[in-house]
Structure 1
Amino acid sequence: MSAPGPQQPLPREQPEPARHSGELQLGSTLDPALARALSDFLRYLALERGRSAHTVRAYESDLSSMLASAVGDGAWDLSGIDLAMLRRWLGRQSDSGLSRATLARRASSVRAFMAWALREGRVEADPALRLAAPKRDKHLPAVLHREQAERLVEGAAGAASEGDPVAVRDLALVEFLYATGVRVGELAGLDVDDLDFERRTARILGKGNKERTVPFGEPAAAALTRWLAVRHTLASAASGPALFLGRRGGRLGQRQARDVVDRALRALGDTSASGPHTLRHTAATHLLDGGADLRSVQELLGHASLATTQLYTHVSVERLRASYLSSHPRA
C-alpha cells in the first residue's frame, strides 16, 4: 500500500471459512441424518465453492425451513422428500406473504441442495428438478440523479467538517461506495493495506473469494486520507487491519454501513431509495451515462455475467426517455 504518512501496512488477514450451525440448530428437531446432510452441504458451500458466510447462512435458513416442512409431511430422510412436499412447502411460503424474489431464492436453494445430494449418492432421484417458483419481479434499481449524488456527498462532507472521527469515517465510506460501486460486504471486508494511493486503486475480495482491483477518484482518495489520519482515535485491540471501524473499535459491520448510507439518503429528502446498493446502482449508471463500456463496468462491479450488468443500460435508457418526455416540445 502506498498510504499517506508514516503508517506501516498492517498484515492482511486471511478470510476464514464461512461458519454454519446446521447440526447445532437442527439436531433437536430433525433426524440426525437430515441434520448431518444439511451440515455437509453447508460445509461444501463454504470450503469447496468458496461461498461467503452471509450466503451460507441464507442457504441454511432456506433449507432448514424446507427440511422441517418435509419432516412435518412425513419425510425422515432425504429419499423420502418428493416434489409434492416441496411444492406444498413453497406454497406455504407464498401464503405467508414472502416476495417473489425470496420465493425464487428459496426454490433455487432447494434445487442446489437436492442436486448436490444426487451427485453425492444420497438420493436416487432429484425431486426438485421440476420445482418451479414465481418469476422475480422485473424492476429497475433505484438510482440517484447526478445532482442528488452531489448533495449526498456534500451532506456527508458538511457533517465531517467539525472533525468528528465517526463523521469523517462516514464521509469516506459514502465517497468510496459511490466511487467504486462495491458491495457493502466487500466494503466491510476491506483492510487498510488493500488501498494503493499511488495508483488510486483498491483490492476487493468479492463473491466466491474472487479478487479484483477497482479504481477510485480524487475525492474518495482525499476522504480516505482524512479518515486514515483519525482512524487511530477509534482503533482498539479488536481493530486489526480493518479499514473501516465501528464506534467500539471493531471492524465496521454491514448493518452499520447500511445505517450510515440510509441516514445520508434520508437527509436528501427527495428520494425513497435506501441502502448501499443504491450507490452501487448509481455508480454503474453514471459510468454508463458518461460513456463507459459495458465490459469495464462489469469488471468494476465484479459481475460474473455480462447480462447482469446490462440491467444498467435499461436504467440509462429509462432516464433518457424520462428526460425526453419532460423536455422535448413534441414528446
Structure 2
Amino acid sequence: MTNEIDTFTRYLAHQGRSQNTVDSYRLDLETCTAYFQTVGINQWATVDRYAIMNLITHLQKQGRANTTINRFLSSLRQLYRFLIQEGLVKTNPLTLIHQLPVQIDQQSSQTVLKNDEVQALLQAPDTSQPLGLRDRALLEMFYATGMKVTEILQLSMDQLHLDLRVINFQGDHGRARIIPLSPTCCEWLAKYLTVSRPQLVSDHEPFVFVNAHGHHLTRQGIWKILRQQTNAANLKRDVTPQLLRHTFVADLLTNGASWQGVQSLLGHTPTNTAYAQLLTLSSQELIDLYDRYHTDI
C-alpha cells in the first residue's frame, strides 16, 4: 500500500502541487494505511465499503473531529480516483460513503442542497439540445465555483482557461482573482463551448453564456433557467444562486477546509492588513485547496 502512496504523491508533485499539500496527503493516507494493516488489509484493492466504515468508527474512537475524518475521506477519494485512472484498482469503496455531518460556523443557519439534490439538479437539463447543454454547463459553473450571478454574467471567453482548470476573473473595480474549476465542470464547459455555443451565437459575443438568440444571457434569464431545471429535477424548494453559493461553501467546510481558505476561494478581501496576508494564496495553493476539499459530483 505504501508503494501506491509513493506513486500518488509523486504524481501530485509532478502536477505542481505544493510540498505542504503533498505532505498532507501522505500523512492522511499513511494514517489510514496503518489502521487497515492492523485489521489484515494490505492491498488497496481489497479495501471495501465496510472497511471504510470501520475506519471511520476507529477514528471516532480516537476522538477525531468529524471535519478531520472528512479530510481523511477526501484524501482517500483522491487516491482511489488516481488508482482507478492508472488501472491499479477497479472500484472505489468510497462511492456510497457520505461525509460526516459537521456544525458549520457562520453557515449553520443556511439551507444548502444535499448531494443527491445537487446530482438531480445537474442531471436535469436535456444535454442533447443546445440550450440544455448550456444549462448543464451553467449549473456546473454555479456548483463548482460558488460564483455570484453578477460574476457569471461578467464572465468572458478570454477569462476561461480550461487547460489549466481556472478562470482568470476580472471582477469589480478591475480586481483580478483566480477561480479553480473541477474536472467535471471543465468537461461540460468544453462540450458547451465546442458543440452548443457555436450554434447559438449569431454575432461576435464576448460573454461565455448566451441566450437562445445568441446574445448575452441576462440575470432574468439565469433565474428562468434555475426555475426550469429545478422543476425538471423534481426538487421541492426554490433553487437560487445564493443557495448554490451556500452549498459550495458548506461542501468545502464539511470536507475540512478552513473558513480562511473558503474566503480565499470566494475572493473575499478583508480590510485588516495582517488578516489579508493570511488569505493571499498563490494560484497553485488555491487549486490545491480546491481539489482537496471540493466534492466533484
Aligned residues: 165
Distance 1:306 1:225 in 2: 37
Report whether the alignment pairs 1:265 with 2:230: yes
Distance 1:301 1:276 in 2: 14
Distance 2:271 2:188 in 1: 31
Which stretches in structure 1 are left out of the alignment for 5+ residues?
A: 1-137, 308-331
**Contact residue 298 and residue 306 of structure 1 kept, 8 A:** no
Distance 1:213 1:145 in 2: 27
State the match for 1:216 in structure 2: 181
Choose the corresponding residue for 1:152, options 121, 130, 144: 121
In the TM superposition, residue 225 of structure 1 has moved relative to its aligned partner by: 0.4
Report whether the alignment pairs 1:251 with 2:216: yes
Distance 1:260 1:303 in 2: 27
Work out which of the two has the higher radius of gyration on C-alpha atoms and give 1 or 2.
1
**Contact residue 194 and residue 202 of structure 1 kept, 8 A:** yes
Question: What CA deviation, in whole Å up to 9, does each residue of 1:206-229 have, x standing for no partner?
Answer: 344422111111110010000011
Choose the corresponding residue for 1:190, options 145, 152, 155: 155
Report whether the alignment pairs 1:291 with 2:260: no
Report whether the alignment pairs 1:236 with 2:202: yes
3-state DSSP of counterpart to 1:155? coil
Question: What CA deviation, in whole Å up to 9, does each residue of 1:38-89 have, x standing for no partner?
Answer: xxxxxxxxxxxxxxxxxxxxxxxxxxxxxxxxxxxxxxxxxxxxxxxxxxxx
The normalised TM-score by structure 1 is 0.47
The 1:226–1:285 alpha-carbon spacing in structure 2 relative to 1, beyond 3 Å, is same
Question: What CA deviation, in whole Å up to 9, does each residue of 1:172-223 have, x standing for no partner?
Answer: 0000110000001100111111111121001223344422111111110010
Question: What CA deviation, in whole Å up to 9, does each residue of 1:288-325 have, x standing for no partner?
Answer: 11112212211221233499xxxxxxxxxxxxxxxxxx
The 1:273–1:303 alpha-carbon spacing in structure 2 relative to 1, beyond 3 Å, is farther
Distance 1:292 1:209 in 2: 28
The 1:303–1:232 alpha-carbon spacing in structure 2 relative to 1, beyond 3 Å, is same
The normalised TM-score by structure 2 is 0.52
Distance 1:288 1:171 in 2: 25
Report whether the alignment pairs 1:177 with 2:136: no
3-state DSSP of counterpart to 2:123? helix
Choose the corresponding residue for 1:140, options 97, 109, 132: 109
In the TM superposition, residue 254 of structure 1 has moved relative to its aligned partner by: 1.5
Distance 1:246 1:263 in 2: 14
Distance 1:177 1:276 in 2: 7
In the TM superposition, residue 243 of structure 1 has moved relative to its aligned partner by: 0.7
In the TM superposition, residue 139 of structure 1 has moved relative to its aligned partner by: 9.0
The 1:305–1:273 alpha-carbon spacing in structure 2 relative to 1, beyond 3 Å, is farther
Alignment of 1:53-92 (within 5 A): none
3-state DSSP of counterpart to 1:203? strand
3-state DSSP of counterpart to 2:124? helix
The one-letter amino acid of 1:284's match is V
In the TM superposition, residue 155 of structure 1 has moved relative to its aligned partner by: 1.7
3-state DSSP of counterpart to 1:303? coil
**Contact residue 206 and residue 302 of structure 1 kept, 8 A:** no
In the TM superposition, residue 142 of structure 1 has moved relative to its aligned partner by: 2.8
Distance 1:226 1:306 in 2: 40
**Contact residue 295 and residue 306 of structure 1 kept, 8 A:** no
Distance 1:148 1:240 in 2: 33
Distance 1:249 1:266 in 2: 24
Alignment of 1:252-331 (within 5 A): 252-305=217-270
Which has the bigger relative contact order, CA under 8 A and spacing at least 6? Answer: 2
In the TM superposition, residue 235 of structure 1 has moved relative to its aligned partner by: 0.8
Identity %: 29
3-state DSSP of counterpart to 2:167? strand
3-state DSSP of counterpart to 1:244? coil
Report the RMSD for the aligned CA atoms in angstroms: 2.2
**Contact residue 181 and residue 284 of structure 1 kept, 8 A:** yes
